[in-house]
Amino acid sequence: MPEGDTVWQAARRLDAALAGRRLVRCELRVPKLATADLTGRAVLGVVPRGKHLLARVEGGLTLHSHLRMDGQWRVFAAGERWHGGPGHQIRAVLGTAEGTAVGYRLQVLDLLRTAEEARVVGHLGPDLLGPDWDREEALRRLRAEPARPLGTALLDQRNLAGIGNVFMAELCFLARATPWLTVGELDRAGGLAGLVAEAERLLAENRERPARATTPPRLRARGPRLHVYGRAPRPCPVCGTPVRVAGETHETQGRERPTYWCPGCQRGPAPGPAAPRPGRPPRRPGPR
């Protein structure tokens, strides 16, 4: 699933291609929007909100999309051949005289009044890459449910918006806590505030990167760009312990996602016989 940094980059590309330009073509290929036509209207701007994209159009309208698992917006120059998937996967076409934005595999596509955007994004917590980012408010929301597993709490966009499975796994690694350690246990060990600060740093750094990376330069020079996500059963780049993966159905995601962790570096509960020893609190992350 695209995460906050990827959505931020998509919004920047769409805004550069569409903002200030008038639409000469509009196709919204979903049944509920089959008769909607924005042709002739100017695009005012495209902004991200967590994992949501909001394209604001003249006349007080907003085209709302969410990339979900494999959705994608592609931008093509005038006359360029579209390449992002077969035609039947196209859900939206927004064309100007200079080029065309094409939305592939968009599972969420809505047209609403701009004044009513809160209906689709109002439930979100502070956006890690947005102007509303508030570290203390994010901490307050996380601390409101101390018994919740850390991984599930980080994936809940109502706490802080923009974290998906990749950043969840990497942030838990940097906090030296398994995703099944509770929020309260990490907070009592003094690590929750540091984890939120790491989330802010990682997303800010990765919004400008073509390829996501969470490892420091000294490790990245040897190859791995991520500590644990997608690396099972390869050795952890820090301690050499084989990275483990479990299939998890997170309450906030509604489907099974792989959860990665290092039993050597991360302390707390974990599924299976190789779970870390209980009763040992996580170490506070040091400066990186």
Residue 252 and residue 167 share a domain: yes
98 φ/ψ angles, rounded to the nearest 5 degrees: -95, -25
Q: Quick check: is 129 in a domain?
A: no
Q: Domain count for the chain, please give it.
A: 2
What CATH number is given to the structural domain containing 43? 3.20.190.10
Q: Quick check: is 279 in a domain?
A: no
Residue 192 and residue 118 share a domain: no
According to the model, what pLDDT value does residue 247 have? 84
Active site residue 31: no
Active site residue 51: yes
Q: Give the chain's largest Cα–Cα span.
A: 64
Q: Quick check: is 270 in a domain?
A: no
What CATH number is given to the structural domain containing 151? 1.10.8.50
Selected catalytic residue, list 74, 231, 257, 267: 257
Residue 253 and residue 144 share a domain: yes
Residue 28 and residue 113 share a domain: yes
Residue 243 and residue 173 share a domain: yes
User: Considering the entire predicted model, what is its pTM?
Assistant: 0.88
Q: Quick check: is 242 in a domain?
A: yes
What are the CB-based long-range contacts (under 8 Å, 24+) for 218-227? 226/166, 226/170, 227/170, 227/173, 227/174, 227/262
Residue 142 and residue 114 share a domain: no
Active site residue 242: no
Average pLDDT by consecutive 10-residue portion of the chain (288 residues)? 91 98 98 96 97 97 94 96 96 98 97 98 97 97 98 97 97 98 98 98 94 92 93 97 84 69 97 51 42
Q: Quick check: is 273 in a domain?
A: no
The boundaries of the domain holding residue 60 are 4-122
Selected catalytic residue, list 51, 56, 176, 212: 51
Closest by CA to 58, choosing from 105, 94, 104, is: 94
According to the model, what pLDDT value does residue 251 have? 54
Cβ atoms of 162 and 4 within 8 Å: the answer is yes
Number of residues assigned to the chain: 288
Which structure tokens are listed for 178? 């398994």
Q: Quick check: is 268 in a domain?
A: no
Residue 180 and residue 95 share a domain: no
Residue 213 and residue 147 share a domain: yes
According to the model, what pLDDT value does residue 250 have? 54
The per-residue b/e assignment along 77-106, b for 16 or more CB within 10 angstroms, e otherwise, is: eeeeeeeeeeeebbbbbbbbeebbbbbbeb
Residue 162 and residue 81 share a domain: no
Residue 42 is classified by DSSP as B
Q: Quick check: is 271 in a domain?
A: no
According to the model, what pLDDT value does residue 175 have? 98
Peptide bond before 233: cis, by omega within 30 degrees of 0? yes
CA separation for the pair 154, 173 (Å, rounded): 13
Residue 94 and residue 52 share a domain: yes
Residue 95 and residue 193 share a domain: no
Selected catalytic residue, list 3, 185, 200, 248: 3
Domain boundary among 97, 122, 147: 122
